[in-house]
Structure formats: structure tokens, C-alpha cells
């Protein structure tokens, strides 16, 4: 919770706001950004008019109430004589209040809600709830006329019974709360400092949170029981609201706690809560144009490197593919040597002595529609295909590794740039090649058993995939719903006219997953070859005419699930 947004700070702030705003006239409010609203008030406050020599006819002063709705620094601050009210490129708010005079300012004791009351009966309601922070203009009936940001009030003062409000002399001394914390023992100390801190945050929402760890250690608060801690917290809150000390600490943080309660080094002490809220280092400037461009390139490089590493991971099975090729070739040799044993084959296959593995017995699976000799030839073909896949994988791995090394070098050089000269030198050396590299592909590629599969990224990307694909590629798409086009690339099938049943099922599952029907247990998927698709000139993005198709019922599965299945 930001310092200026805490309930204790607001309880100290409200009397100051009330002294300065009651009796002044609303001029205008505006914003030049999404998270900051400011309003100008003109005239002498009631406290000014009560001073000697002030009769309400003297020179009118200008005050600016600034409301910050950013969750990291949410709060209110009042600036005296802030300068010109003219602003360019601003949006104005609450014109119905122009000329209206502030008649009162209220705040429920335990709520982060402040209400400005006007003589017309209208209200300005401030809710300081972090991400939900907002200010609304309300009629006296409670109807919302206008808001700074979207949303509706959580606490509407017109719809709630009267509650205690803060004035210039009031402070929280109305007794202890009955809540002793969630699931906290009432007679035993806390188990740890973390448990003590969590209890304070949940049970004492109004207690200052800026330096809880320091307070717990210095006062040994974790050694107290919840009831003792509640008493201590209540006393600190009461003393702080009644007699705050406006301290800017050496580390740049702020506090209202005196040095006896919080013994941290003080950099400066101020005379009012307003001065403290406005103190501290100037706001950080935004990144320079060079830093923005550098950050953009770094992010692009990291994205490209992530893709390369993912592709390399998909190709890690090269060694397994080679081992599978060796085994398939051995099975081919053994079947040719045992072709005469046709009568001994069983539904499970043919049992042979494996001369390639120290004479161990091995069961070789056989296709029932082929003879032992034909099965041997089939195993030779499988071994040839596996070696071709492994060679393709190895070649692709080498290329990917070279590309990844180049990207890592470019990133290292980019991170070392520190001025305009080194930045321009980096651009001349790397930017052209990286621009070509970073051109986004219209598909996400994955590789299964050496076979390349494309998954279209969107409707327009589906059209681009259609343009890049080959007429013999196999195409998959969930029937009757929007989704990605999925292709099995024919050139990676090793000369086979059609993908295996397992690959067809995998591609259909991917098409089902990347569709509007992914939540269904089973999805019908259209399957055909690219040559049976037609794209009309006036067709919507991604829309094609299918002249011939088969249909597979597929269970939607992600790429990760598919890859895990094939690896196992």
C-alpha cells in the first residue's frame, strides 16, 4: 500500500484538507493522463477568514487538489498557489460544480473514503482503493452524475447511515477492535515475524505498513500475544494521528511515526503532511528513445532465441532415430536369415536368436499380410527412412545451433551498447540480418518422427500457409468452426504417399485443439490434400472451398501433449 494511501496518513491528512478547502470555490478539474486528476479551488477558506485582518474580501488564493489513481502511489495532495491553470491536451470533468463552494469534508474513521460536500448538495466522492481508486460527482440523492474513471462507487455516502468522520481535533481513541486475527491464538506469542506481520495486515488495516518489519524487530512484536499486539497497535495509531511527526528518512521513505516508535535515521523533518507528501526525489524520467529502441531489439532477440531453442528441443531425438534405424536393419537381416521358418511364426511375430546382441532371444513383430521375407524388406525400408530422418534432423540441428549462436552474440553486443555511436555501429552490423530473421512466420512448426507439421496462427496466416504449401501436403481443419489450418508437409514423409495413422491422428488432434471446438471431448476434423482446396478471390480470410475430404474424429490435444506422446 502506498504511504499516501494508508488509512493513518489519510486520518492525518483530512483535518488539513478541511481547514484549507471548506469555504473555497470550485473552479475546474481536468486530467492530462489516465491516472491523475486535479482540481483548482479559489478563495479564502473559513480558517483564513477567521484570522485577524481577514474579512473574506482580501486577495483570493488558488489551491490545487491532486488525486493520483495509480495503485503504486495512490493518494491526495493539496498544493498552494500552484501557478497557471492553463493546460493543453486535457480532458475536463465535473463542469456542473463550477462556482460551487465547499461546505464540509468528511471521512469515516476506518475507511479510505473522503467526501467533499458542496453548498448545492452535490458531493465529490474519493475512493482510495489502489487499483479501484476513483473520484465521482454525486447528486445529494447519491445518483452518480460523472466519474473520472470507469466503474461505480463501492461506498456511497448518501446510501449509508452516518458514521464517525475526522475533523481537526478527532483521533482514533474509541476502544480496541474485538477481532484478534484469523486463526491466531489469543494467549500464545506468534510463531514467526512473518506470522506477526500477516496478523497486523489482516487485523489492523489502519495501522501504518511502511516499516512493519523494522517495528516488529525493534519492539519484539512477535513475542506478544495477539491481544497485547492489538493494544500496542491501537496506542501507536492513536499517538500518530494525534501528534504525527512528518519525517523523510535516509532511505527516501516517509513516515508519521516519531523516532521513539521507529528509530530510523531522519533525513529531513517537515512542518505539515502536505510538505511531506510532496517531498522526496523528483519523478523518474521515462526511457530515452535509444533505450526504447534497444529494449525493443533485446525483446525481439530473446523471442527468436526462444524459438530456436524450442526447435532444437524438438530435434533432440536424432540419436534415438539412429538407434531405431540400427534395430530395424538388424530385424531385416534376421528375417532374411530365417525366411524358411514361415510355419513357426505366431500372431505376436517370429522368435529369433539375435546374433547382433550376444545370442539373446528376440521377438520380431510381423505384418500378418506379408511373408517373413516381405517383412524383412519392410524393415530395410523403415531403416532407410529412419536414417534419412536422422540425417535431416542432424543437418537442421547444426543450422539451428549456428543461428542460435549468432543470436546470442548479437544480444551480447547489444547489451554492451551504451551510447548513440555504439548503437549505430550495432545496427550496421546486425540489424539487417536480424530483420530478415525476425519476419514472423504465418505458422508454428513442430516435428514428429522427422515429419514437419505447420499450425496456422490466425485467419490471415491461414491464407499465407495455403499460399506457401505444396499441392501434395495433407491439410486438417475442424469441421464447421473457426480454427487453424494444420498441414503435414509431404516432403518430410520420406517418399511415403500418405502419413502414418498416428501422424494423421496427431494432426487432427492439433486442428481440433486450435479451433473454437477445443472444449469438446471429440471434434470432427476435415482431412484432404492441399490440391483439393480452392480459395476464391472474395472469400473471407482463412475461408476455403474443400472439393474432396475425409473426416476423422479427434480428441483435442496441444502440441506439448502430442510431443510427449510421441517421445514416450
Residue 108 C-alpha cell reads as 469515516
Give the residue with greater pLDDT, 311 vs 347.
347
Residue 282 C-alpha cell reads as 523528483
**SS3 category, 23:** coil
Q: Does the predicted TM-score (pTM) go above 0.95?
A: no
With 50 as the cut, is the pLDDT of residue 327 above it?
yes
The whole-chain average pLDDT of the chain stands at 82
245-278 per-position pLDDT tens digit: 988 888 788 888 899 888 888 888 988 888 888 7
Spatial distance between the Cα atoms of 366 and 186, rounded to a whole number of angstroms:
75
Q: How confident is the model at residue 161 (pLDDT cuts 50, 70, 90)?
A: low
**SS3 category, 203:** helix
Q: How confident is the model at residue 321 (pLDDT cuts 50, 70, 90)?
A: confident
Q: Which residues pair with 36 in a beta bridge?
A: 68
Contacts with 504 (C-beta within 8 Å, 6 or more apart), sequence order: 474, 488, 498, 527, 552
Q: How confident is the model at residue 32 (pLDDT cuts 50, 70, 90)?
A: low
DSSP-assigned letter for residue 331: H
Residue 395 C-alpha cell reads as 543437418
Nearest of 483, 446, 467 to residue 533 by alpha carbon: 467
Contacts with 228 (C-beta within 8 Å, 6 or more apart), sequence order: none
Query: By the 8 A CB rule, do 146 and 94 touch?
Result: yes
Percentage of the chain lying above the pLDDT 70 cut: 84
491-508 per-position pLDDT tens digit: 888 888 899 999 999 999
Element (H, E) at 326: helix 318-337
For 56-68, give one letter per residue: b (16+ CB within 10 A) or e.
Answer: eeeeeebbbbbbb
123-160 per-position pLDDT tens digit: 998 888 777 888 888 898 888 888 888 878 876 665 55
For 501-521, give one letter per residue: b (16+ CB within 10 A) or e.
Answer: eebbbbbbbbbbbbbebbeee
With 80 as the cut, is the pLDDT of residue 421 above it?
yes
Residues 23-38, mean pLDDT to the nearest whole number: 84
**Cα dist. 163→137, 168, 263 in Å?**
20, 16, 35
Spatial distance between the Cα atoms of 79 and 181, rounded to a whole number of angstroms:
39
Spatial distance between the Cα atoms of 484 and 465, rounded to a whole number of angstroms:
10
Nearest of 303, 292, 274, 378 to residue 335 by alpha carbon: 378
Nearest of 461, 454, 462 to residue 440 by alpha carbon: 461
Spatial distance between the Cα atoms of 401 and 210, rounded to a whole number of angstroms:
49
Spatial distance between the Cα atoms of 47 and 210, rounded to a whole number of angstroms:
32
Q: What is the CA radius of gyration of the chain?
A: 37
CA dihedral 436, 439, 443, 448 (to 10 degrees): 40
DSSP-assigned letter for residue 540: P
With 60 as the cut, is the pLDDT of residue 341 above it?
yes
Residue 538 C-alpha cell reads as 472474395
Query: By the 8 A CB rule, do 536 and 453 touch?
Result: no
**Cα dist. 364→344, 374, 559 in Å?**
12, 13, 32
Cell 473552479 sits on residue = 27
Q: Which residues pair with 102 in a beta bridge?
A: 118
Give the residue with greater pLDDT, 49 vs 529.
529
Q: Which residues pair with 281 in a beta bridge?
A: none
Dihedral sign computed on CA atoms, order 53, 55, 56, 57:
negative
How far is C-alpha 316 from the geometric centre of its chain's CA atoms? Answer: 31
Dihedral sign computed on CA atoms, order 481, 482, 483, 488:
positive
Residue 97 C-alpha cell reads as 460544480
Highest mean pLDDT among 175-179, 440-444, 497-501: 497-501
Residues 231-236, mean pLDDT to the nearest whole number: 90
Q: What are phi and psi of 139, to 5 degrees?
A: -70, 165
Give the residue with greater pLDDT, 522 vs 421.
522
Contacts with 45 (C-beta within 8 Å, 6 or more apart), sequence order: 19, 20, 21, 22, 23, 24
Amino acid at each position: 500500500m502506498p504511504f499516501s494511501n494508508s488509512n493513518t496518513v489519510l486520518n492525518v491528512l483530512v483535518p488539513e484538507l478541511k481547514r484549507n478547502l471548506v469555504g473555497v470555490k470550485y473552479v475546474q478539474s481536468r486530467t492530462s493522463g489516465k491516472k491523475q486528476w486535479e482540481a483548482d479551488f479559489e478563495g479564502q477558506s473559513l480558517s483564513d477568514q477567521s484570522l485577524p485582518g481577514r474579512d473574506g474580501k482580501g486577495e483570493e488564493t488558488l489551491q490545487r487538489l491532486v488525486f493520483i489513481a495509480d495503485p503504486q502511489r495512490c493518494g491526495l495532495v493539496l498544493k498552494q498557489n500552484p501557478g497557471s491553470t492553463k493546460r493543453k491536451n486535457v480532458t475536463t470533468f465535473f463542469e456542473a460544480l463550477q462556482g460551487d463552494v465547499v461546505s464540509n469534508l468528511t471521512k469515516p474513521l476506518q475507511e479510505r473514503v473522503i467526501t467533499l460536500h458542496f453548498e448545492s448538495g452535490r458531493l465529490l466522492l474519493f475512493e482510495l482503493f489502489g487499483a479501484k481508486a476513483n473520484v465521482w460527482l454525486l447528486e445529494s440523492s447519491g445518483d452518480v452524475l460523472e466519474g473520472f474513471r470507469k466503474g461505480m462507487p463501492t461506498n456511497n455516502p448518501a446510501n449509508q447511515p452516518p458514521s464517525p468522520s475526522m475533523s481537526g481535533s478527532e483521533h482514533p481513541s474509541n476502544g480496541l477492535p474485538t477481532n484478534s486475527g484469523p486463526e491466531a491464538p489469543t494467549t500464545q506469542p506468534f510463531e514467526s515475524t512473518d506470522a506477526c506481520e500477516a496478523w497486523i495486515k489482516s487485523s489492523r488495516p489502519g495501522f501504518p505498513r511502511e516499516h512493519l518489519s523494522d517495528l516488529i524487530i525493534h519492539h519484539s512484536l512477535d513475542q506478544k500475544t495477539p491481544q497485547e499486539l492489538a493494544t500496542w497497535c491501537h496506542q501507536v495509531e492513536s499517538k500518530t494521528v494525534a501528534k504525527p511527526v512528518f519525517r523523510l528518512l535516509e532511505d527516501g521513505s516517509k513516515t508519521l511515526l516519531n523516532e521513539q516508535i521507529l528509530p530510523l535515521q531522519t533525513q529531513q523533518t517537515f512542518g505539515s503532511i502536505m510538505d511531506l507528501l510532496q517531498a522526496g526525489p523528483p519523478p523518474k524520467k521515462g526511457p530515452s528513445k535509444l533505450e526504447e529502441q534497444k529494449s525493443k531489439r533485446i525483446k525481439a532477440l530473446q523471442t527468436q532465441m526462444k524459438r530456436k531453442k524450442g526447435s532444437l528441443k524438438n530435434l533432440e531425438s536424432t540419436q534415438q532415430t539412429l538407434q531405431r534405424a540400427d534395430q530395424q536393419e538388424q530385424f531385416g537381416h534376421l528375417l532374411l536369415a530365417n525366411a524358411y521358418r514361415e510355419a513357426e511364426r505366431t500372431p505376436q511375430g517370429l522368435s529369433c536368436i539375435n546374433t547382433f546382441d550376444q545370442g539373446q532371444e528376440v521377438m520380431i513383430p510381423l505384418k500378418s499380410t506379408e511373408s517373413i521375407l516381405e517383412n524383412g524388406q519392410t524393415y530395410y525400408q523403415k531403416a532407410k527412412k529412419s536414417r534419412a530422418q536422422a540425417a535431416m534432423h542432424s543437418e537442421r540441428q547444426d543450422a539451428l545451433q549456428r543461428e542460435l549462436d549468432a543470436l546470442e552474440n548479437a544480444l551480447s553486443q547489444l547489451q554492451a551498447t551504451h551510447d548513440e555511436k555504439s548503437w549505430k555501429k550495432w545496427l550496421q552490423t546486425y540489424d539487417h540480418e536480424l530483420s530478415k530473421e525476425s519476419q514472423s512466420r504465418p505458422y508454428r512448426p513442430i516435428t514428429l518422427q522427422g515429419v514437419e507439421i505447420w499450425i496456422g496462427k490466425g485467419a490471415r496466416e491461414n491464407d499465407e500457409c495455403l499460399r506457401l504449401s505444396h499441392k501434395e501436403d495433407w491439410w486438417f481443419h475442424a469441421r464447421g468452426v473457426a480454427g487453424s489450418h494444420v498441414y503435414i508437409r509431404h516432403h518430410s514423409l520420406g517418399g511415403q504417399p500418405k502419413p502414418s495413422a498416428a501422424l494423421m491422428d496427431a494432426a487432427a488432434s492439433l486442428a481440433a485443439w486450435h479451433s473454437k471446438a477445443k472444449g469438446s471431448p471429440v471434434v470432427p476434423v476435415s482431412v484432404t490434400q492441399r490440391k483439393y482446396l480452392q480459395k476464391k478471390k472474395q472469400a473471407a480470410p482463412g475461408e476455403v472451398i474443400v472439393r474432396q475430404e475425409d473426416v476423422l474424429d479427434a480428441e483435442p490435444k496441444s502440441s506439448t501433449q502430442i510431443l510427449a506422446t510421441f517421445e514416450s
